[in-house]
């Protein structure tokens, strides 16, 4: 019978992970996904628990394999290592939860799951060339009270909450196990043995300790969740007033490719964009932003783009930001050019973080760039997957970021919400305009001020007042402090048995020969 319970719990967790994560997550399911296997863990043997955890995560993430292999074009060994490696870590985390719970350490058991997963996400963000792209936190990007936690802890605090709630519930609902005097778990004692244990412990009733432990765990983790939600409500008590400057984002998926400026299609696309930019500027737009890698240009063909856009910028007093691939010498760069309203020379920003495989022919940049006479920073697509880069912009005085981008269609929602979360982390307004994705403008609290899908029309335009920045956040000042705190907590939780001094008079166990 236990094998069928294990299969049922694993299947249910896998289904919840499937629908609660990925490119289109159902956010409330994410909170429940680990619960079935965590409830199972103390009810099965030490070998079954990690296997259930492994398959719950591995099967729940199967739908992501085609995206990684076919869309992002990651090598199969990398996909297999990352997907199966994280499944292994989740399985070991379930095993650690079980072991701590059966050893009479319920608070540690409830803590080890969220701490371990935060450490895993943080390690992956440092080890793989994709930044903090992979995190459960983005599933809550539309849940504003929860999302505010990112302004204090980054995505790591949201991940902690998501794993802490099911972990605490599983502890509270655990079977009524009693720790033996030797400290090891065993089968449920008979009533006679329970009475002996209770009397030897000073008369403690057989169910008193589990109940007390459950109350303590519920109180601690309930307080953590209430604190996070209270903080979120406090941050959302008022909406930031718009600055008044109007920003316009304009994109087309036709064509959805890089177009050389010296081709008829390239010159036609310049004219189509220019006429729309001029119309938007005449209607009061202060900034107009185009997508990433719209054009391909070298020093000879670049004037085909710079002449009309610079004229519009100067004549209408509007900053125009355009994304293009620029050839310089024997190197190619993914850049965003800001044509300033003042009529000066364009400001160039070069993308820092290139997509492995898809952008191996490009060279990265390393400098920040601002529109002249403003606090508006320029950034490109994948750069928003890197919290440190956005923190650097805020530390340098940025109040808003303009982000030309290029998505892959089905991942448009996720990429747009990653950008939203970066804004919440640092108190910034984000205006992001992709091809094949979601055009979005968000305020520093993560509210979507304006949004449209690029598939809605041949040319999609989003126009709105630019949201005002918020005060500098704790995350901007302290960075990934919460991830490091989880590293310390995880180390102490798993290492406590090794650090605990032997009780006086406790005989050492004989070694097996």
pLDDT in tens, 324-346: 999 998 999 999 999 999 998 99
At 107 the pLDDT is 95
Whether 177 shows a pLDDT value over 90: the answer reads no
Q: How confident is the model at residue 188 (pLDDT cuts 50, 70, 90)?
A: very low
Q: Which helix (H) or strand (E) holds 326?
A: strand 319-328
Question: Within a domain: residue 507?
Answer: no
Question: Within a domain: residue 480?
Answer: no
Q: What is the pLDDT of residues 267-312, one digit of tens each?
A: 999 999 999 999 999 999 999 999 999 999 999 999 999 999 999 9
At 197 the pLDDT is 37
For residues 201 and 287, state if they share a domain: no
For residues 63 and 185, state if they share a domain: yes
At 194 the pLDDT is 44
199 versus 145: the higher-pLDDT residue is: 145
Structural domain for 444, as ranges: 242-469
506 versus 24: the higher-pLDDT residue is: 24
Sorted by sequence, the CB contacts under 8 Å of residue 161 that are 6+ apart come out as: 114, 146, 149, 224, 225, 228
Q: Mean pLDDT lowest for which of 113-122, 156-165, 209-218?
A: 209-218
At 128 the pLDDT is 87
Mean pLDDT value across the chain? 90
Contacts 24+ apart (CB under 8 A), 493-502: 493/100, 493/108, 493/111, 493/112, 493/115, 494/96, 494/112, 496/105, 496/108, 497/103
At 243 the pLDDT is 64
- For the residues of 271-289, what is the DSSP string, one character each? HHHHHHHHHHHHTTEEEEE
For residues 181 and 296, state if they share a domain: no
At 167 the pLDDT is 97
For residues 217 and 273, state if they share a domain: no
For residues 163 and 263, state if they share a domain: no
Question: Within a domain: residue 229?
Answer: yes
CB 439 within 8 A of CB 432: yes
Cα–Cα distance list, 253 to 293, 455, 460 (Å): 12, 7, 9
For residues 229 and 271, state if they share a domain: no
Whether 186 shows a pLDDT value over 50: the answer reads no
Question: Within a domain: residue 506?
Answer: no
For residues 205 and 346, state if they share a domain: no
At 212 the pLDDT is 80
At 500 the pLDDT is 62
At 498 the pLDDT is 57
Whether 191 shows a pLDDT value over 60: the answer reads no
For residues 232 and 278, state if they share a domain: no
The C-alpha angle with vertex 429 and arms to 425 and 435, in degrees rounded to 5, equals: 105
Q: What share of the chain is helix, strand, coil (3-state, %, to 5)?
A: 50, 15, 35
Q: How confident is the model at residue 495 (pLDDT cuts 50, 70, 90)?
A: confident
Rg (CA), the chain: 27
User: Strands 259-260 and 331-339: what pairing?
Assistant: unpaired
At 383 the pLDDT is 98
User: Strands 400-406 and 319-328: what pairing?
Assistant: unpaired
Whether 512 shows a pLDDT value over 70: the answer reads no
Q: How confident is the model at residue 208 (pLDDT cuts 50, 70, 90)?
A: low
Question: Within a domain: residue 509?
Answer: no
At 482 the pLDDT is 98
CB 404 within 8 A of CB 292: yes
Mean pLDDT of 361-381: 96
For residues 330 and 252, state if they share a domain: yes
For residues 191 and 295, state if they share a domain: no
**Euclidean distance between CA atoms 323 and 338, whole angstroms:** 9
Question: Within a domain: residue 510?
Answer: no
Q: What is the pLDDT of residues 32-86, one digit of tens each?
A: 999 999 999 999 999 999 999 999 999 999 999 999 999 988 899 999 999 999 9
At 501 the pLDDT is 57
194 versus 128: the higher-pLDDT residue is: 128
For residues 357 and 457, state if they share a domain: yes
SS3 of residue 5 by DSSP: helix
Residue whose pair of structure tokens reads 């902690």 in the numeric block: 160
Look up residue 196 and give its two tokens: 């002996």
At 199 the pLDDT is 39
For residues 198 and 298, state if they share a domain: no
Q: What is the pLDDT of residues 404-455, one digit of tens each?
A: 999 999 999 999 999 999 999 999 999 999 999 999 999 999 999 999 999 9
At 479 the pLDDT is 96
Whether 189 shows a pLDDT value over 90: the answer reads no
Percentage of residues in the chain with pLDDT exceeding 90? 81
Mean pLDDT of 212-232: 93
CATH number, position 352: 3.60.110.10
In terms of Cα–Cα distance, which of 466, 384, 464, 465 is closest to 426?
A: 384
Burial bucket for residue 335 (CB in 10 Å: 0-12, 13-18, 19+) = buried
Percentage of residues in the chain with pLDDT exceeding 70? 89
Overall domain count for the chain? 2
CA 61 distance to own-chain centroid? 16
């Amino acid at each position: 019978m236990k094998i069928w319970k294990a299969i049922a719990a694993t299947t249910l967790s896998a289904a919840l992970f499937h629908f609660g994560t990925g490119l289109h997550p159902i956010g409330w399911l994410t909170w429940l996904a680990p619960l079935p296997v965590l409830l199972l863990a103390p009810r099965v043997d030490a070998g079954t628990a990690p296997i259930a955890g492994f398959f719950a995560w591995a099967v729940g993430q199967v739908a992501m394999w085609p995206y990684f292999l076919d869309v992002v074009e990651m090598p199969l060994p990398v996909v297999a290592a990352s997907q199966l490696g994280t499944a292994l870590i989740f399985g070991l985390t379930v095993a650690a939860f079980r072991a701590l719970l059966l050893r009479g350490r319920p608070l540690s058991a409830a803590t080890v799951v969220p701490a371990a997963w935060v450490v895993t996400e943080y390690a992956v963000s440092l080890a793989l060339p994709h930044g903090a792209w992979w995190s459960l936190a983005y599933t809550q990007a539309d849940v504003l009270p929860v999302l505010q936690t990112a302004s204090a802890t980054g995505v790591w605090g949201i991940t902690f909450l998501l794993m802490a709630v099911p972990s605490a519930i599983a502890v509270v609902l655990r079977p009524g196990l009693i720790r033996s005097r030797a400290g090891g778990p065993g089968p449920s004692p008979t009533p006679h043995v329970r009475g002996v244990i209770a009397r030897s412990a000073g008369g403690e009733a057989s169910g008193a300790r589990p109940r007390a432990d459950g109350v303590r765990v519920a109180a601690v983790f309930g307080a953590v969740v209430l604190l996070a939600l209270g903080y979120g409500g406090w941050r959302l008590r008022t909406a930031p007033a718009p600055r008044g400057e109007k920003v316009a984002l304009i994109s087309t998926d036709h064509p959805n490719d890089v177009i050389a400026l010296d081709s008829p299609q390239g010159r036609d696309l310049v004219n189509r964009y220019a006429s729309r930019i001029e119309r938007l500027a005449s209607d009061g737009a202060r900034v107009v932003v185009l997508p990433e890698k719209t054009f391909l240009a070298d020093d000879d063909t670049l004037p085909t783009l710079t002449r009309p856009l610079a004229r519009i910028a100067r004549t209408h007093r509007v900053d125009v930001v355009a994304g293009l691939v620029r050839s310089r010498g024997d190197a190619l760069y993914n850049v965003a050019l800001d044509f300033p309203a003042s009529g000066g020379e364009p400001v160039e920003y070069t993308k820092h973080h290139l997509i492995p495989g898809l952008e191996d022919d490009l060279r990265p940049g390393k400098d920040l760039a601002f529109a002249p006479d403003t606090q508006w920073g320029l950034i490109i697509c994948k750069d928003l997957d890197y919290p440190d880069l956005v923190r650097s912009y805020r530390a340098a005085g940025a109040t808003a970021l303009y982000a030309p981008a290029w998505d892959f269609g089905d991942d448009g929602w996720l990429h747009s919400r990653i950008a939203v979360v970066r804004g919440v982390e640092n108190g910034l307004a984000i205006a992001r305009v992709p091809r094949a994705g979601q055009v979005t403008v968000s305020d520093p609290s993560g509210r979507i001020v304006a949004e449209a899908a690029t598939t809605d029309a041949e040319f999609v335009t989003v126009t709105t007042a630019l949201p005002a920045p918020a005060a500098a956040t704790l995350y901007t000042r302290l960075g990934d402090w919460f991830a490091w705190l989880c590293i310390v907590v995880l180390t102490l939780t798993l290492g406590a048995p090794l650090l605990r001094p032997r009780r006086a008079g406790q005989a050492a166990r004989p070694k097996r020969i």
